[in-house]
A and B are shown apart, each in its own frame.
Chain A
């Protein structure tokens, strides 16, 4: 079945850029997503990218997709302390079957002042 993997932890200084990486196994994934989860809260959809795109930019967020390598990244420019959270990568598509979304285990981003 589909597998989505992320590194567990990233620490950056306020004002720097953060890059969170994700790899997935299903080459038929049609959409790839980034969610943010703050403590005690649900998951917030940040952005998603269709598989025929290489890049998507939305304000401070830039998503890069390398379909050949099955690699997805989320870049946060000018990282703020409010960006501290867990970031989940997820994929959907044919081979996820009827499971709708496959989530990675999440990357905890810590922003130091």
Chain B
């Protein structure tokens, strides 16, 4: 049963610390997405990659967030320095292309980040 895995599942950190979240996409999927979910904003797309190349990171605060895919089995999302307003659940999704800008996306279980 192929699944997207994310680590850690929970992270509590102090303001100013670096946070790294990891995602292993489903083998064979060539697109990876990072989302953030909060009660106030709902689901927000932060960035996405196709064939490991970043296609769009316009949803990400560039001064503190960075997303990379060092290889096809690993995607990372880093926050440095973290702030309390970054507290949210961060989801990774991997997917297959259905058509132009359309994807069949499968979500991981999420990383719940709390910044105090």
**Interface residues, chain A, CB within 8 Å of chain B?**
30-31, 35, 41-45, 48, 88, 92-94, 96-101, 103, 105-106
Between-chain CB contacts (< 8 Å), 25 pairs: A30-B99, A31-B98, A31-B102, A35-B107, A41-B110, A42-B109, A43-B43, A43-B93, A44-B107, A45-B106, A48-B104, A92-B98, A92-B103, A93-B101, A93-B102, A96-B101, A99-B45, A99-B59, A100-B45, A100-B48, A100-B56, A101-B105, A103-B42, A103-B43, A106-B42
Q: Are A45 and B101 in contact (CB under 8 A)?
A: no
Given contacts A42-B91, A99-B45, contact A30 B102 (CB under 8 A): yes
For A88, the closest partner residue in chain B by CB is: B43
Docked Cα-Cα span, A100 to B55, in Å, equals: 10
B interface residues, how many (CB within 8 angstroms): 25
Contacts of A101 in B (CB 8 A): 33, 45, 103, 105
